[in-house]
Amino acid sequence: MGKYKAFIVDDEPLARLALREYITLTSSEIEIIGEAGDGEEALKQLEERQDVDIVLADIQMPRMNGVQLLEALGGATFSKQPLTIMLSAFGDYDYVRESFVLGAFDYMLKANLEESYIAPVLQKTVEELDKRQSQSADAADHDEDTWICSILHRLAVEWMPFPCSEDDESFNESLLRLKKHMGEKNQVAAVIRLSEAVQLDQIHRMILQTVQSVAGKDRQEAVSHVCRADERQYNVFFTFPGLSSSMAVRRLSNAMLTDIKIRLKQFLNLNLSIGISDAADGLQEWNRLFRQAERLSVLSYYQGYDRLFYPESEKKAIVSEEEWKDGWPQSKAELVQALKDPDGSAWKRHYESCCELLTGRFPSQPGQIRSELGDLIWTAGSLLYRKGRSSEELHEAFPHPLEQVRLMGTWEETVQWCDKYLDFLHESLHPKTERAGIWLSPIVAKTKAILEKHYCEEIHLSVISQMVGVSESYLSKQFSKEVGINFIQYLTQLRIEKAKKGLENGLKIYEVAEMVGYVNPEHFSRLFKKVTGVSPLAYRRDSE
């Protein structure tokens, strides 16, 4: 088989020369067949030649930059589509992201151009080109990564018992192939869990490329395969056949997974947690290792994202099963009973006790916590029905509460949301209109406090509704009902009252306008006169 043909595009002649030398020294399977100083010149030559396998393109170039060239290559017709490796500076992260979206195969930092850095990237590129040739030669062959992922899924996720049935001859053959490909020494499973689901396929492709470039074929010490589980989860399976100690396995796996976490945050702005199993030998261990890594990955519910979780991160329950069986039903009943008490402090004390009991029993099982809290919310909400009160306002303020609890990303977020729900429920059970003076619900009172603090800023009802934890439509309706005027009218009146004090202190009109949140002094003057009946100038003169 002949060498793969590479084409260099860079506006700096010295950079092209250096890259040519490094590639010649690093890879015997690649030859440089052409160069260009900008994207336009490169595109013309590439369309004429039609035989280029690899394009190495600088991002920053005159006339047509590397990203524009990449986009043009995607729209051009080639007998075989070349793989594009982008050359980027440290400040080109946004362009690198865009390049991956447009189909770049990999990237290299120009500041790191040396033989040890270039060699793995070129080797991965050569292997990808080899893979393409193999696929074109035999289109009936299954993609190797897909095949391996399917076998690992059966072993780790579905759990095929050992030894396998003799009747399952094809699966037994697959196990032998897997063992030959990956080995079974120093097996480690890692589960990458994103903080939010990703819907775009191109982002998933970028995630896979990033994980594979770090954990995949770049390292001689490790064999790995990355399998996408769903919109939030990726499973990575490692073997470290050349390492002889668990400490060496831990060091290398930590280095690779930390690098993956940093790159996904830096280039794709993704927050994630990674659960990492211990190491074990034997294909029958994959299920245990995967389950361990999966449990560890969800510890972000308690400790937040942007972390790696090892087996020692798991906490043991401090509440025994017997204590839980006796204590939880009683604590839950006491909380529900306390919600019937008009004293708002009573239920809060019992709610804190419930939270302590939950985390004491399930320090590493957020699914159990969500389930128990969902049941608690449902039981508490039924008090409205028993008391013959309408639940319409509760459902409007907190639509689909059980789903909300299930989707909460962290324990802190869950505690705060449930506190707001129970507080609203308590106020619905015990309306305080009989009290002297004007009473405001906690949500409206908090809204007024936020406005008092931030009236001089550009603030919207949609933002405040998120801050107080209810829907925008509900807050708008409830605010008007309790205050007597709508949100905009109240904010305007508040700003005008603050403006009056500024004018009384002798401030200039444009200073007062800016002080209370109006960028345009003329707009402020018109609004001031509309509300007070006099202009700001007249008001200041009268107050002197």
CATH number of the domain that residue 14 is part of: 3.40.50.2300
Whether residue 119 is contained in a domain is answered as yes
For residue 389, what pLDDT is reported?
66
For residue 469, what pLDDT is reported?
87
Whether residue 315 is contained in a domain is answered as no
Residues 325 and 298 in one domain: no
Whether residue 521 is contained in a domain is answered as yes
pLDDT (tens digit per residue) in 203-242: 998 998 899 888 865 457 888 889 998 999 999 999 998 8
Residues 51 and 27 in one domain: yes
Among 155, 285, 182, CA closest to 241: 182
Residues 12 and 130 in one domain: yes
Whether residue 447 is contained in a domain is answered as yes
pLDDT (tens digit per residue) in 120-166: 999 999 998 988 877 665 543 446 778 888 888 888 877 655 555 54
Residues 286 and 169 in one domain: yes
Residues 172 and 287 in one domain: yes
Final residue in a domain of this structure, among 402, 429, 456 = 429
Final residue in a domain of this structure, among 398, 429, 460 = 429
The CA-atom distances, in angstroms, between 330 and each of 186, 255, 327, 375 are: 47, 47, 5, 14
Residues 397 and 510 in one domain: no
Whether residue 183 is contained in a domain is answered as yes
Contact criterion met (CB below 8 Å) for 242 and 189:
no
Residues 64 and 156 in one domain: no
Location of structure tokens 């907190």: 398
Q: Which residue has the higher pLDDT, 133 or 419?
A: 419
pLDDT (tens digit per residue) in 303-337: 989 999 999 999 899 999 999 999 999 999 999 99
For residue 142, what pLDDT is reported?
45
Residues 155 and 207 in one domain: yes
For residue 141, what pLDDT is reported?
41
Residues 253 and 289 in one domain: yes
Whether residue 316 is contained in a domain is answered as no
Residues 156 and 133 in one domain: no
Residue 277 binned pLDDT confidence (cut-offs 50, 70, 90): very high
Count: domains in the chain: 4
Whether residue 434 is contained in a domain is answered as no
CATH number of the domain that residue 521 is part of: 1.10.10.60
Find all residues with CB under 8 Å of 441, minimum gap 6, and list them.
424, 427, 478, 482
User: By percentage, how much of the chain surpasses pLDDT 90?
Assistant: 41
For residue 531, what pLDDT is reported?
86
Residues 340 and 248 in one domain: no
**CA–CA dist 96, 507 (Å, integer):** 51
CATH number of the domain that residue 245 is part of: 3.30.70.270
Final residue in a domain of this structure, among 137, 172, 201 = 137
Whether residue 437 is contained in a domain is answered as no
Contact criterion met (CB below 8 Å) for 471 and 396:
yes
Residues 131 and 165 in one domain: no
Range of the domain at 248: 147-310
